[in-house]
Amino acid sequence: MSAEAAFELVRIGVVSVSDRASSGAYEDKGLPALKEWLGKALKNPIEFEPRLIPDDAARISAALVELVDAGCSLVLTTGGTGPALRDVTPEATLAVAHKEMPGFGEQMRQISLRFVPTAILSRQVAVIRDKSLIINLPGQPKSIAETLEGLKDANGAQLVPGIFAAVPYCIDLIGGPYLETDDSVCKAFRPKSAIRTRA
Backbone angles phi, psi at 187, to 5 degrees: -85, 115
Average pLDDT over residues 4-14: 87
Helix (H) or strand (E) holding 150: strand 150-152
Task: Return the pLDDT at 5.
Answer: 54
Average pLDDT over residues 121-139: 97
Task: Return the pLDDT at 1.
Answer: 42
N-to-C CA span, the chain = 11
Distance in angstroms (rounded) separating the CA atoms of residues 80 and 121: 12
Whether 174 has a pLDDT exceeding 70, the answer reads: yes
Mean pLDDT lowest among 4-18, 107-121, 129-143: 4-18
Whether 3 has a pLDDT exceeding 70, the answer reads: no
Task: Return the pLDDT at 199.
Answer: 62
Average pLDDT over residues 24-34: 90
- Report the share of the chain in percent with pLDDT over 70: 97
Quick: pLDDT tens for 139-171: 899 999 999 999 888 887 888 889 999 999 999
Whether 79 has a pLDDT exceeding 50, the answer reads: yes
Burial level of 188, CB count in 10 A (0-12/13-18/19+)? buried
Whether 198 has a pLDDT exceeding 80, the answer reads: no
Q: How many CB atoms lie within 10 A of CB 185?
A: 17
Residue 125's alpha-carbon distances to 59, 98, 137, in angstroms, are: 17, 13, 8
Task: Return the pLDDT at 22.
Answer: 84
Average pLDDT over residues 173-185: 96
Task: Return the pLDDT at 156.
Answer: 79
Q: How many CB atoms lie within 10 A of CB 9?
A: 10
Average pLDDT over residues 78-95: 97
- Strand order from edge to edge, sheet including 46-53: 46-53, 10-17, 74-78, 132-137, 126-129, 99-100
Mean pLDDT lowest among 55-64, 73-82, 146-155: 146-155
Mean pLDDT lowest among 38-47, 72-81, 121-130, 149-158: 149-158
Distance in angstroms (rounded) separating the CA atoms of residues 199 and 197: 7
